A and B are shown apart, each in its own frame.
Chain A
Amino acid sequence: MNIPALQPRTPTAAMLAVLGGVAMLSGLLVVLAAQLTAPLIAENQRHAIERALVRVIPGAVTFRRYRIVEGGLAPARKEGDDTLYAGYDAQGRLLGIAARAAAQGYADMIYLLYGYDPRCQCIRGIQVLKMAETPGLGDRIMKDHAFLKNFESLDARLDPSGESLLNPIVTVKHGAKRNPWEIDAISGATISSRAVGKALNRSARKLLPAIHPLLQRIRRLREAQR
């Protein structure tokens, strides 16, 4: 018995042509969109970083980007995770530097920007760049006033050898803060609070000994530009 074909067979060429054509059109549109939005997206990212920088280096009006290279600091051309930001006041004096830090939080990685003040050898502020912590609990790390007060002057002195922190930055249970290098956790958001402490400690322990001897060279804006 012959089963009649329900439909005429579609030639392979037609399928290839349609799929290829649609894919090409799609590629064209995507590239066009990427090209058109690239400057706007870069601008948005720059704004987000700048907003955060003003908060973590209070009083700074001018910012410069640097990158640690072998034995010194070089101006950074592109924005990257290892970029350091130096903030200067109106007279061109170095007020502080800012760097990124990250640690695993409760839901996902928490990305921070923190500001370090070389005069008091302390952390002057943090800003959460990206996180996915639980609303109402973990996300208080970016809003809770009592918690953010920890970072108005968080001790990050180097030990006499200059190779590591004198006291590791640690998060302690809510209400148990005794020393200036401890972070008082938010009750009910201990994991997120600990993650902030861990991120800061990890980044500061590595970064601060490396850059402390170099800060002299970028102490003034004019010297830094040379």
Chain B
Amino acid sequence: MSRQRDDRLTWETFSEGLWRENPVFVMLLGMCPVLAVTNSAINALAMGLATTFVLVASGLLVSLLARYIPRQVRIATYIVIIATFVTLIDYAIQAISLDLYNALGAFIQLIVVNCIILGRAEAYASRNRPLKAVVNAAGMGAGFTFALLCLGGVRELLGAGSLFGVNLFGPAFQPWVVMVLPPGGFLVLGAWLLLFDWLKQRSAEVAPSPRGETANGR
């Protein structure tokens, strides 16, 4: 392989998951938890943090072991590693709060099949040194958590009139219940994607482009 290995640790290593390669808004990965558990900000935050933990821990272990894992069994090995950390966080959430555990339901266990994590293990952690893999995984986790919070915050605000369980609008507010139901997830995700695409397009227009005549001479 002639691929150049770049071992430098830069701000970009962390921030690409946060913005330029945001797993939800740019790569559209892990849509299942994004739509399912973002009916309140607290659920979104818990899901985001749990996923971040699994990303970072599995990234570190995969990066450390990558040299010894034969190609043929690498996916199986990654899945076992990921499943282990998911089980750990599953126990941890049960120990922290049963209410939260019941609210998140099966989606904690389903982190195992979240493609962000396996994708990062295969495409990044196994090819980079541990520190870099951890920093990148933390960035991706932060980006995922940020995206979940964007959805969860808006949905809870509109659908229940509260944020993190704190009632904001008083008793006169008529909650827009559809927002905390599954259709609300799609609506809010669509709105955020629209916003992100618009931002991307605008920054592309603002960026200096070669000036001159266009192809058809106008």
Contact = CB atoms under 8 A, between A and B. Distances in A.
A85 to B, nearest CB: 18
Contacts of A7: 71
Contact size range, B: 20 to 34
Given A18-B77, A130-B102, A135-B177, A29 B94 contact: no
B175 interface: yes
Contact of B91 (A22, A41, A130, A136): A41
Contacts of A134: 181
A10 B77 contact: no
A19 B80 contact: yes
A23 B88 CA distance: 14
Contacts of B39: 135
A130 B76 CA distance: 35
A15 B74 CA distance: 9
A130 B177 CA distance: 21
A15 B88 contact: no
Interface stretch (A30-38, A56-64, A169-177, A210-218): A30-38
B94 A26 contact: no
Contacts of B165: none
A171 to B, nearest CB: 22
A23 B69 CA distance: 13
B148 to A, nearest CB: 17
Contacts, number: 72
Given A18-B77, A19-B77, A34 B70 contact: no
B216 interface: no
B92 A22 contact: no
A164 B91 CA distance: 43
A30 to B, nearest CB: 5
B72 interface: yes
A26 B81 contact: yes
A74 interface: no
Contact size range, A: 20 to 34
A143 to B, nearest CB: 12
Contacts of A130: 102
Contact of A44 (B69, B94, B180): B94
B175 to A, nearest CB: 6
Contact of B80 (A26, A40, A48): A26
B207 interface: no
B95 interface: yes
A179 to B, nearest CB: 32
Contacts of B71: 7, 10
A144 B84 CA distance: 41
A33 B91 contact: yes
- What are the 10 tightest A-B residue pairs by CB atom distance, in nearest-first order? A136-B177, A40-B95, A26-B84, A37-B95, A10-B70, A37-B91, A33-B91, A33-B88, A135-B180, A15-B73
Given A18-B73, A135-B39, 11 more contacts: A10-B72, A15-B72, A19-B76, A26-B83, A37-B94, A37-B95, A41-B95, A44-B95, A48-B99, A135-B160, A135-B177
17 contacts: A15-B70, A18-B65, A22-B81, A30-B84, A30-B88, A33-B91, A37-B92, A37-B95, A40-B94, A41-B94, A41-B95, A44-B98, A45-B98, A135-B160, A136-B175, A136-B181, A137-B177
